[in-house]
Structure 1
Amino acid sequence: MDLILWRHAEAVPGSDTLADLDRPLTPKGQRQAKRMGEWLNRVLPESARILVSPALRTQATAEALERRFKTVAGLAPDGTIEHLLMETRWPQARDVTV
């Protein structure tokens, strides 16, 4: 299995009035996500599974990839490594997972 961890692009800073999961990408982050999405589209196999946290910034980053992805609550910032390993089916899975 190939497990690729892709961190979200630059997001607006946290604040008392904005929940962590609701932080959007900055304009710079939008450009970063677009560039990385273009690169990943060239190197990832079509069969790659894309798993994304429910955080707005990760959703927007993944949308830049322009592929189908699955939102997984266990990948949220308060998720555990156990959630990550379970959702990715690591190390048993044979596919590429992002």
Structure 2
Amino acid sequence: MNLILWRHAEAEDYAATDLARALTTRGRKQAQHVAKWLRTRLPDDAVILASPAVRTIQTAETLSDQYRVVRELAPNASAQDVLTASGWPKGIAETVVIVGHQPTLGHVAAKLLANSDASWPLKKAGLWWIASRERHGDDQAVLLAAMTPELV
């Protein structure tokens, strides 16, 4: 499976609640740039899962109107919550895009790629594209791409 961990783009600092924080103008542009890069590479049957936060939903909407909101992906979700939602390593689909938050996405990447409990930093609107594979009977995670809005 392919697991794409996409951090929401830049959001306003304050709103009525944390979940209500919306993307800034800059954030919308960041998300649009990364979505354009992703759109040319994703299969048509990719599954997009977003946190219930407004900023993640708005980020996902720059990619497609076909996404699902998963409350277990809300801010402060665990790495295991993300892996469960995506079905890692076999996948709920061949390609799953998780639109989520830091430090959770950093925990997932560190766990999969380095078997570490650390949280690796990920810039706003940045993504990691990780593939699962089996080698000699062992499940492995392989980094296929790391992208930021500045690189597209």
TM-score by length of 2: 0.60
Structure showing the higher helix proportion among its residues: 1
Distance, in Å, in 2 between the alignment partners of 1:36 and 1:80 is: 24
- 1:41-77: CA deviation from partner (whole Å, max 9, x where unpaired): 1011111110100000000000001240010000000
Distance, in Å, in 2 between the alignment partners of 1:33 and 1:9 is: 6
Query: What's the C-alpha RMSD, in Å, of the aligned pairs?
Result: 1.3
How far apart are 1:78 and its partner, in Å?
2.5
How far apart are 1:85 and its partner, in Å?
1.1
> Percent same amino acid among aligned pairs?
44
Q: Which of 1 and 2 has higher RCO (CA within 8 Å, sep 6+)?
A: 1
Tell me, which stretches of 5 or more residues in structure 1 are unaligned?
none
Question: Aligned runs of 1:1-98 on 2, under 5 Å?
Answer: 1-14=1-14, 18-93=16-91, 95-98=94-97
TM-score by length of 1: 0.90
Please identify runs of 4+ aligned residues in structure 1 that moved more than 4 A: none
Structure showing the higher strand proportion among its residues: 2
Query: Who wins on radius of gyration, i.e. which is larger?
Result: 2
Q: Which amino acid aligns with 1:97?
A: V
How far apart are 1:18 and its partner, in Å?
2.7
Tell me, which stretches of 5 or more residues in structure 2 are unaligned?
98-152
